[in-house]
Amino acid sequence: TYYIRATGASAGKADFYLVQNVGALMEEEHQNGLAHVLEHMAFHATEHFPEGVPAFLKRRGIQDLNAYTGADETVYHIDGVPTTDGGLVDSCLLILHDWSSAINLADKEIDKERGVIREEWRSRNSGMLRIMTDAQATMYPDSKYADCMPIGSIDVINNFPYQDIRDYYAKWYRPDLQGIVIVGDINACLLYTS
């Protein structure tokens, strides 16, 4: 599904999103945290961007890209893309394509990201987060939301077999669960002819 909206918010620029209708709730117990790991892996090599998406975009002057994983969704975005550069607009569409179905999941890159996520988990593991985590069982009784923290389980992050994340990606990253959103100074008619 494509959502393209021309707005006057930022003259000459648009924001590009891949909205994946899959988050931490879809994980099985042995996959606790894989949605978040996969989100991180999208910034490593992809089929068309073997040096990684951030390296390509930074060379083109774009610094604002990110992603997040929630319980119900994973969202990737590239902000402030100059729309007067048709080649760059096409490249951003290709990045969304690669995020949707062509992330390289190399063993050594997965292992690098395990360390990054361990540090993210350690830095976020505050008293407030522990209280919130404990309160979820009361707030969402008899629901998968009761124990759903998108950052996942450190035990799973440290030990999941490489094939588990590849299987998760193949199962959940598919067109019927994805939306492309482009908002800004964009001519939708030109996108359909690209």
pLDDT in tens, the chain (194 residues): 999 999 877 899 999 999 999 999 999 989 999 999 999 999 999 999 999 999 999 999 999 999 999 999 999 999 999 999 989 999 999 999 999 999 999 999 999 999 999 998 877 766 666 666 666 677 767 766 667 677 888 999 999 999 999 999 999 999 999 999 999 998 777 665 54
Element containing residue 181 per DSSP (H, E) = strand 178-184
CB 83, CB 48: distance < 8 Å = no
HSE-CB for 58 with a 13 A CA cutoff: 7
173 CB neighbour count, 10 Å cutoff = 20
101 CB neighbour count, 10 Å cutoff = 15
Residues noted as catalytic: 39
